[in-house]
Amino acid sequence: MSTTPKTLTLPVSTSRANPTPQPMKRLTVPRIRQRKGGEPLVMLTAYTVRMAQLMDPHCDMLLVGDSLAQVIYGLPHTVAVTMEMMALHGAAVVRGSYHAAVIVDMPFGSYEASPELAFTNASRLLKETGAAGVKVEGGKVIAPTIEFLTQRGIPVMGHVGLTPQAVNILGGYGVRGKSAAEARSIVEDAEAVAKAGAFAMVIEGVMEPIAIEITQKVDCPTIGIGASAQCDGQVLVAEDMLGLFDRTPKFVKRFGAMQEHVEDAVKKYAEDVRSRAFPSAEQLYRSE
272 is in an annotated binding site: no
CA distance 193 to 114: 16
CA distance 243 to 51: 14
Q: Which amino acid is at 160?
A: V
Q: Which amino acid is at 11?
A: P
Identify the active-site residue in 112, 147, 182, 204: 204
Helix axes 115-129, 83-95, angle to 10 degrees: 40
Look up residue 251 and give its DSSP letter.
T
Q: Which helix (H) or strand (E) holds 161?
A: strand 156-161
Largest Cα–Cα distance in the chain?
80
CA distance 149 to 146: 5
Burial group, residue 248, by CB count within 10 angstroms (0-12, 13-18, 19+): middle
Is 204 in the active site? Answer: yes
- The closest of 118, 103, 109 to 79, measured between CA atoms, is 109
137 is in an annotated binding site: yes
Summarize the annotated binding site for 3-methyl-2-oxobutanoate as residue ranges: 66-67, 105, 135
Summarize the annotated binding site as residue ranges: 66-67, 105, 135, 137
Summarize the annotated binding site for Mg(2+) as residue ranges: 66, 105, 137
The residues annotated as belonging to the active site are 204
